Amino acid sequence: MLNIIIFGPPGAGKGTQSGLLIEKYNLNHISTGDLFRWHTKNETPLGKKVKEIMDSGNLVSDDITIAMLKEEVEKHPDVHGFLFDGFPRTVAQAEALDTLMESMSTAIHGVIELKVSEEEVRARIAKRKSIENRVDDDEDKLNKRIEEYFNKTVHVLPYYENQGRLKTVNGIGAIEKIFEEISIVADSFEVAKS
Ligand code: AMP
């Protein structure tokens, strides 16, 4: 298996790069944000529980998030690998993920940080908004998510950095160029694990 985490702030282009990565490396994409959105949209008991907190742009508790992630991973025991997106966002989640991978006799082989500064993310979002010419009802929520990322989520990075599992890629530039760099990093994870 090849298991990778993609990391980056909202608006960094993580969605686009994740799509390219899962195709090239035949990975199963697990986005906790997408899973939570599915639950809220379908009004499942879990969805009802997390709706308010998601609407506010805050993070869902570790217990709930880890349980949902674990269930999703365990549904796919025979895949070639996983691309984790939006998870982990806390050190407790990172530790739980390592334990889960270990229980499957595998590991997180590396973390790709798509580096875009807070300033750049805000500039991109403002540009997108002016092009699309729409009033964004979700602006407060988006601001909150950006804040969450730069104030809280980034603190997970040293966990991986200290173990030599973190690689940073510059997230500014053409999509193809960024993906070329990401591919070099993913190839290095593949080589290192064998
Ligand atoms: P995202 O699309 O990844 O930004 O996630 C959307 C929302 O889902 C976040 O603002 C959180 O409320 C929740 N969420 C997603 N992933 C996590 C996570 N790993 N831990 C806690 N909350 C999460």
What is the pLDDT averaged over residues 163-176?
A: 95
What is the pLDDT averaged over residues 122-151?
A: 77
List the catalytic residue out of 14, 41, 70, 152. Answer: 14
Atom of ligand 1 nearest to the CA of 86: 3
pLDDT-derived band at 133, boundaries 50, 70, 90 = low
Overall domain count for the chain: 1
- Residue 58 is predicted with a pLDDT of 87
pLDDT tens-digit profile of 23-45?
999 999 999 999 999 999 999 99
145 is catalytic: yes
pLDDT-derived band at 142, boundaries 50, 70, 90 = confident
Q: Environment class of residue 65 by beta-carbon count within 10 Å: exposed (0-12), middle (13-18) or buried (19+)? A: buried
Average pLDDT of the residues of the chain: 92
pLDDT-derived band at 192, boundaries 50, 70, 90 = confident
Q: How far apart are CA 43 and CA 40, in angstroms?
A: 5
Q: How far apart are CA 61 and CA 81, in angstroms?
A: 26
- Spatial CB neighbours of 79, under 8 Å, sequence gap ≥ 6: 1, 27, 28
Q: Is the pLDDT of residue 136 over 60?
A: no
165 is catalytic: no
The CATH code of the domain that includes 162 is 3.40.50.300
Q: What is the domain range of residue 70?
A: 4-193
- 23 CA distance to ligand 1 middle (Å): 23
List the catalytic residue out of 24, 41, 127, 128. Answer: 128
- Mutation test of ligand 1: which of 49, 89, 146, 147 has the most ligand atoms closer than 8 Å to its C-beta? 89
Q: Is the pLDDT of residue 134 over 70?
A: no
